[in-house]
Amino acid sequence: MKKQYTPTERLGVNAVERMFLHIGWIFREQHTTDVGIDAQVEICEDGVATGKVLAIQIKSGASYFRQENASGYVYHGDVRHLDYWLQHSLPVLLVLYDPTEDRAWWCSLHEENVTREANRWSTCVPKVQELTQVSRDALRRIAMPRPLNQSRLRDIAARLSDRAAAISGYSSLLDALHAADSSIDVIAPVTDEMLFLALAFCSHRVRVRLITGPTVPEAAVRELLSGDHEGIDWKCAMSVHEKLIVIDDFLVVLGSANMTLASWRSGWEYVQCVCEPNLSRPVIESFEEVWLGQRISLVNVADLVRHD
């Protein structure tokens, strides 16, 4: 006999509600006519509702995880729903829930991260974007964008050109760090005390994650031991080659230059700045893969220092 009812859809809605409640946000399921939005989530700060809301579309079941690539799970849909979501007055999140593992992954839907094919379309839901407490900052920025701050970062990026590896370019880089509103992520195989002190200063007000090579400047270690800069989440690897900085998941600075004053002053290196979501997103996802140890083995520097 053909099944008349399966609980898969309800399991997905209930599970995703639980995940957002653990984050500390308000989950409101849409019980009235559903035309493509399953729920709304309101962001709360320290238990206070902000009035900033995300629209959520939940897809539950193992079938949504059958096709994947190196970055994530490939979702296919019809254009009618996509057009509705892209025209929605709220930012729309697509959430895929796997009931066999009780885990969910998300992506924000916008024109830059979808591929259209006749009456169908597809997008990749990144594996690094699992719906957990770690997602809070990224989701908060989607619901509460800071256009004035982004404008400031664009202005700074305009000062950084292909020939930006000079003393004035390094000053602009420091300006960009201090303009950060919520997060700074850095991969710097070689660094110096100046960069570390700038990150340490910023870590008192924004999240800072730093990945370096195995050689750590003595002055930076002394600063870490001082206890004044515990806000830096710092890891190192025996082999890391990327050189990049991501600010507020918006501005990406990358190139051949080490993140040191001497390297930028040499004038022989190139630096590129990206502020466009369709170009910066792959770089941001690449950082997350490195940070999670999916490509190289990382060690927490604070643990190394304590053991020494």
Q: pLDDT tens digits, residue range 91-143? A: 999 999 999 999 999 999 988 788 888 889 999 999 989 999 988 888 988 88
pLDDT at 49 > cutoff 70 = yes
- The model's confidence at residue 1, banded by pLDDT at 50, 70 and 90, is very low
Give the span between the Cα atoms of 125 and 154, in whole angstroms. 27
SS3 assignment, position 263: helix
- Residue whose pair of structure tokens reads 């991501």 in the numeric block: 246
Query: Six-digit token pair at 182?
Result: 């919520």
Residue range(s) occupied by CATH 3.40.1350.10 in the chain:
8-143
pLDDT value, residue 149 = 79
Quote the CA–CA distance of 28 and 226 in Å, as a whole number.
Answer: 46
Q: Which fold has domain 147-307?
A: Endonuclease; Chain A (3.30.870)
- Average pLDDT, integer, range 66-93: 90
- In the chain, CATH 3.30.870.10 covers 147-307
CATH of segment(s) 8-143 = 3.40.1350.10
The values of phi and psi at residue 190, to 5°, are: -125, 130
- H/E stretch holding 12 reads helix 8-23
**CB 219, CB 287: distance < 8 Å:** no
- 265 Rama class: left (phi>0) / alpha (psi -120 to 50) / beta: alpha
Q: Dig out the tokens for 225 from the structure.
A: 């031991």
CB-based contact 215:190 (threshold 8 Å): yes
In this prediction, residue 256 has a pLDDT band, given cuts at 50, 70 and 90, of confident
Please report, to the nearest 10 degrees, the dihedral formed by the alpha carbons of residues 122, 127, 129, 131 taken in order: 100
The answer to whether 152 and 179 have CB atoms below 8 angstroms apart is yes
CB atoms within 10 A of CB 283: 16
DSSP 8-state code for residue 128: T
Q: Say which amino acid occupies 144.
A: M
Lowest mean pLDDT among 63-67, 163-167, 169-173, 175-179: 163-167
pTM for this model (two decimals): 0.62
Strand-pairing partners, residue 236, are 212, 299
Element (H, E) at 251: strand 251-255
Q: Which residue has tokens 């170009």?
A: 279
